[in-house]
Amino acid sequence: MVSLTVPPEAAAAARAGLRSVVLVPSDLEAGKIVATAAYAGTLVAVDGSYDDVNRLCSEVAFDHEDWGFVNVTLRPFYAEGSKTVGFEVAEQLGWRLPEQVVVPVASGSLLTKVDKAWRELGELGLVEATPYRVFGAQASGCAPVAAAFDAGLDVVRPVKPDTIAKSLAIGNPADGPYALDVARRTGGAVADVSDEEVVEGIRLLARTEGIFAETAGGVTVATLRRLLAEGRLDPAAETVLLNTGDGLKTLDAIVDRVGPTATIPASYDAFQELGL
- Tens of pLDDT, residues 148-202: 999 999 999 999 999 999 999 999 999 999 999 999 999 999 999 999 999 999 9
- Quick one: pLDDT at residue 165? 95
**What span, in angstroms and rounded, lies between the C-alpha atoms of 73 and 77?**
9
Q: Tell me the pairing of strands 189-193 and 133-139.
A: parallel
Q: Give the strands of the sheet with 2-6, arranged side by side.
A: 42-46, 19-25, 2-6, 68-69
- Quick one: pLDDT at residue 64? 83
Mean pLDDT of 253-264: 90
DSSP label at residue 10: G
- Sorted by where each begins, the domain ranges of the chain are 2-69, 78-253
Is residue 17's pLDDT more than 80? no
Percent of the chain with pLDDT over 70: 93
Mean predicted lDDT score pLDDT of the chain: 91
Mean pLDDT of 110-134: 97
Longest Cα separation, the chain: 70
Mean pLDDT of 43-63: 89
Is residue 11's pLDDT more than 50? no
- Quick one: pLDDT at residue 63? 86
* Nearest to 111, CA basis, from 139, 88, 134: 134
Tell me the pLDDT band of 251, cut-offs 50, 70 and 90: confident
Query: Is the separation of the CB atoms in 156 and 107 below 8 Å?
Result: no
Tell me the pLDDT band of 3, cut-offs 50, 70 and 90: low
- Which pLDDT tens digit goes with each residue over 68-119? 787 776 777 878 889 999 999 999 999 999 999 999 999 999 999 999 999 9
- Quick one: pLDDT at residue 16? 54
- Quick one: pLDDT at residue 43? 92
Is residue 39's pLDDT more than 90? no
Alpha helices in 27-107 (DSSP H): 30-37, 50-63, 75-92
18-57 as b/e: b if 16+ CB within 10 A: ebbbbbbbeebbebbbeeeeeeeeebeebeebbbebbebb
**What CATH class is the domain 78-253?**
alpha beta
Q: Tell me the pairing of strands 2-6 and 19-25.
A: antiparallel
Is residue 129's pLDDT more than 90? yes
- Quick one: pLDDT at residue 2? 58
Any long-range contacts for 151-157 (C-beta under 8 Å, 24+ apart)? 153/180, 154/180, 154/181, 156/180
- The one-letter amino acid code at 151 reads A
- Which pLDDT tens digit goes with each residue over 197-247? 999 999 999 999 999 999 999 999 999 999 999 999 999 999 999 999 998
- Quick one: pLDDT at residue 75? 72
